[in-house]
Structure formats: structure tokens, C-alpha cells
Structure 1
Amino acid sequence: MIRPKVKICGLKAGDNLDFAQHPLVSHIGFVQVQASRRYIDPDDAKVMVQALEHQVQAVGVFANQSVEEVIERCHRAGFTVAQLHGQESLQDCEEIRRHGLQVWKAISVSTSDSSGQVQAAIEHYRSATDALLLDAAAPNSSEGVTGGWGKSFDWHLLPQILRFFPGDPIWIAGGLRPDNVSHLLSVTIPYGLDVSSGVEIGGRKSSEKIAVFLERVNSFVHTNKLS
């Protein structure tokens, strides 16, 4: 059993990046969906990525954007990973990978989905991606913004799902916060945890909330002697 990785997503220009030095943090995310309140211009993201000096990997978050736009924005900002949250096809994923980028595909999990439905979606994308991310389905009022709503799905589905994919890089997102991450980890230990709104105050990343979130994960890791 391995300790989970952590991605802090939805960074905006001016956010404090000191958390990137924490050993649990492996990725940070920059939203490239212009309808999102967390959108950041790729040139502004580039300044932050360069300041990190490869401490962590930078992820560009996209939804239903053209392959050409995804590739251009990733290369312009210095993202090494394209995280796709829309209806992207297997061919889209494969084409983006051919341009030297890792591809993570988000799979929306709704309250009505069975474990079998989620497993089928994972099977569909896993050969064309570098990682998969299970995220709570967006509300009907989302207007094309597919993540960052602070809602979780039924985590008790996860043991049934993840046992079919041992060792696969499957991340969990949606509604993670400092006060509930220990509960998720008590249900299952995923490959990675992707947190955004749960570590914000007033729509901006909070250094204090990020520190508490990481402390809770770290405490669970040490208490349970995860490697």
C-alpha cells in the first residue's frame, strides 16, 4: 500500500506556492476553462510554473476544448499534464499524448451511478491515458464548468471500483476538505487526492487550509504506516 499523492488545483496568479515544497504534493493544477472563476491565463500560469523550478508537475485543466488548443496552452504555460474534464474521445487523448504530454481523463460520478458504470468508464479510457480522476458530477447549472464545485460522490463505491484496478493511477476529486479527507482515506487509499475549493477562503487558496489538509493526510499516512 502506498501513500497518496496530493494535487492542489485551481491556482490563480498571486497565490502562495510554499505548499509545493511539502513531500506529499506532487502536482498543482491551473484551470484553462475560461468560464471558470478559477481560470488563469497561460502566460500568468507560466510565471508560476517557472517559479516552482520543477518541484512539482504542472497540470492544465481543460473541458471540451480542441486538441490544438490543449497542446498550445500546455506548451505555452509549461504544463506537463493535460487534465481533460469534458467529452474528449480516446483519439483526442492519444493525439495529445503524441505531443509529449501526459493525459489525465476525469470521469464524472453522479449519485445514480453504480460501481459497474464507473468501472466501465475507467476501462474505456485507461489504455489511452496516464491517469484517471474520479470527480463528482457537476450540477445542472454548471454552464460548462465541470469541476471545483465542492461536491463529493459516494466514496463507499470506491473499494468496489478500485479493487479491479490495483496499482492504476486513479485520483479522487470532488468535495475534499481538511475535515473529511481522513474519512475518505479510512474508506480507501487512492493513488492521489485532488483538492481545490476545500482549501479556499473567499475563492482564493488558503495557505492555512492547505497546511491543515496536508497535515491530516500526513497524520493518516504515519498512523497507518503507509509507505
Structure 2
Amino acid sequence: MTESTSKPMVKICGLRQESTLQGMDGLPVDYVGYVFAPSKRQVTAEQAANLRAAASGVRMREGKPPRSVGVFVNPTMERLTEVLDVVPLDVIQLHGQETPAFCREVAGRFGVEVWRALSAGDGEDNDPALTGADRLADYGGAVSTVLIDTAGGGTGRTFRWETIPAYLEQARRHGLRLFVAGGLSPDNVTELLAAYRPDGVDISSGVETEGVKDIRKIAAFAERVNRS
């Protein structure tokens, strides 16, 4: 397995306020995520368009604006069309039961990068690390990135990090990037990166205070990743 030698990428997900984006100016962040699936962080296409416009004037990693990620769960092509007609997303992130064939169709039809989120397993299966990692083979050539998360997603809980090497090995084998999510925070991300070195990390609730994005926590998280 070839270890990544570049800085891990940072995605801050679940953004809902333009002031949050403005406060992130100058931070080493690569992606910002807008949630279109049912969630307390859900935004409309119109709200996301306003947020993306605000993001275009903010300079983050290497003085560039962040790339915009739309998070969906089992969307129809019609739903994706409705959203993309309003907000030109850079990435579609799929969190449901979307098949590799569906992912390929999304990429081909809309000309966007596609990410697939998969549950890492919680230790209840006979061999969740092997079973979970083997799924990545099906997504080679269908998506650019696989994001592994705690089962259920958006729980604020970590999964068993010792399963990560199996996912990294499969990701490298099939030409995929691997992002890790689930229960990350400014307090534990340095430990994660020192031990496993995924291509990127994705955080939402871990940079919130009482359900609202906290600029100080976002800055601490991004800067600790950048120093790793």
C-alpha cells in the first residue's frame, strides 16, 4: 500500500450560514458541504446557491475558494437535476443505497465529481473490516472518492479506526481517494492522522457549539490537520 505524502484534505459539512463561510477566510479548507437530505442541517437549493456565491469570495487552501459538495441520500435523477439547475455543485456525495451504476450515471449525466459514503461497520458482523473494505472494488471507476463513516452517518460517534487500513489498501488498489468521517473533532483528528493517514477528513457536528458552526473550532480543526 502506498501512503499518501500530501496534506490530508479538509471538508467542513453542514454549512447553513454565510457568516460561517466568511469567518473561514484564510483557513486551509478544501471542501464545504451542503446537506440536501432530511436533516437539521438541510438547506434548499436556493439557500445553497447563496452560500456557494458567498464561498466564491472566500480564499481558503492556496488562496482558492472551497469546492462545493452536495450531500444527498437516495436522490432521483430528477431531484439532482432540480438542485443542480439552481446551484452548480462541484461534487455530489451519495449517502444511501446508491449502486455503482447509479454513481456512474450521475457523473456522466451531470459532469460532476461523485463521492460515495459507506458505513464502516460497528463490529457486529463477523468481519466488518474485510466485508466493508471489499465493497470499494465495486466503486473503482464509478466515483473518485469513498468516504467511510459511522453507521447511520451524522451520529457524532467514531467507528473502529483499526478497520481503516483495510479500506486504505482497497482504495489504493482501485484508484480511489479515502476520506474518514464520524465523530471527528479538533481533539482527536491529530491522533487519527498520525496513525492512519487517509486522504481527507470530513467533519460537521465536531465543529459545532450547541448545534451551530463554531469558527474557533473549525479553525482549530483545519489547522491541526494542516500541521499533521
1:198 partnered with 2:206: yes
Distance 2:77 2:195 in 1: 36
Deviation at 1:187?
1.5
Conserved 8 A contact 2:13-2:203: yes
Distance 1:71 1:188 in 2: 37
Of stretches 39-48 and 108-117 in structure 1, the one that deviates more from structure 2 is 108-117
Question: Secondary structure, in 3 states, of the residue corresponding to 1:116?
Answer: helix
Give the TM-score taking structure 1 as reference length. Answer: 0.87
Identity of aligned residues (%): 37
Conserved 8 A contact 1:85-1:105: yes
Matched with 2:194 is 186
Deviation at 1:218?
2.3
- The counterpart of 1:130, out of the listed 124, 144, 150, is 144
1:56 partnered with 2:66: yes
Conserved 8 A contact 2:104-2:143: yes
Conserved 8 A contact 1:26-1:57: yes
Matched with 2:121 is 110
Of stretches 10-19 and 195-204 in structure 1, the one that deviates more from structure 2 is 10-19
Distance 1:4 1:218 in 2: 7
Aligned partner letter, 1:21? G
- The counterpart of 1:78, out of the listed 61, 85, 88, is 88
Distance 1:165 1:52 in 2: 30
Conserved 8 A contact 2:121-2:132: no
- Once the two structures are superposed, the pairs formed by residues 1-227 of structure 1 within 5 Å of their partners are 1-17=5-21, 18-19=23-24, 21-22=26-27, 24-33=28-37, 35-53=38-56, 55-98=65-108, 99-112=110-123, 114-138=128-152, 147-166=153-172, 168-220=176-228
Conserved 8 A contact 1:156-1:187: no
Distance 2:79 2:211 in 1: 26
Alignment length (residue pairs): 210
Post-superposition CA distance 1:145-181 (Å, at most 9, x none): xx22201111111123313433631111111101100
Deviation at 1:118?
1.7
Conserved 8 A contact 1:67-1:92: no
Deviation at 1:15?
4.1
Conserved 8 A contact 1:60-1:74: no
Unaligned 5+ residue runs, structure 2?
57-63
Of stretches 91-100 and 193-202 in structure 1, the one that deviates more from structure 2 is 91-100
Question: Secondary structure, in 3 states, of the residue corresponding to 2:24?
Answer: helix
Give the TM-score taking structure 2 as reference length. Answer: 0.86
